[in-house]
Amino acid sequence: MKYIIVSSMLLAALSPVLPAAAQEMKTDAMHHEMPAAAQSNAAPKVSGEIRKVDTDAGKITIRHGEIPNLDMPGMTMVFRVASPDMLGKVKAGDQVLFTAEKNNGALTVTSIELVPAK
């Protein structure tokens, strides 16, 4: 009898904590997701021309227009790519629209799409 009382008291003591903890985790996860989502929404598409694709190094050279979110004027430069399959989608000479962001200090192409030739 004593055990039953103790365990039900324990349950009663713990049960209010569980939903609170779950709530806290959910809130925490949302805090982590929101900046990333806001960031990729904020990154504007920039036009560029592929100059070189270096599949081995996971890098791509793009002659690009102004990149407002990186505060960068137009130039030709090397970017990392967020995902290696981006490198298979483009080749030197292709006109593209892409988004670039700074990830851990490295300028990284986060999305890329071909612009059909006119």
The DSSP-derived string for 31-86 is: HHHHHHHHHHHHS--EEEEEEEEETTTTEEEEEE--BGGGTB-SEEEEEEESSTHH
- Measured from the CB of residue 81, what is the shortest distance to Cu ion in angstroms? 15
Say whether residue 97 binds Cu ion (CB under 5 A). Answer: no
With residue 22 as reference, give the H or E element that holds it.
Answer: helix 17-42
Whole-number minimum distance, CB 27 to Cu ion, in Å?
A: 37
Shortest CB 22 distance to Cu ion, Å: 45
Binding mask 46-85 for Cu ion (x = CB under 5 A): --------------------------x--x-x--------
Residue 72 vs 97, nearer CB to Cu ion: 72
Where on the chain is the footprint of Cu ion (CB under 5 A)? 72, 75, 77
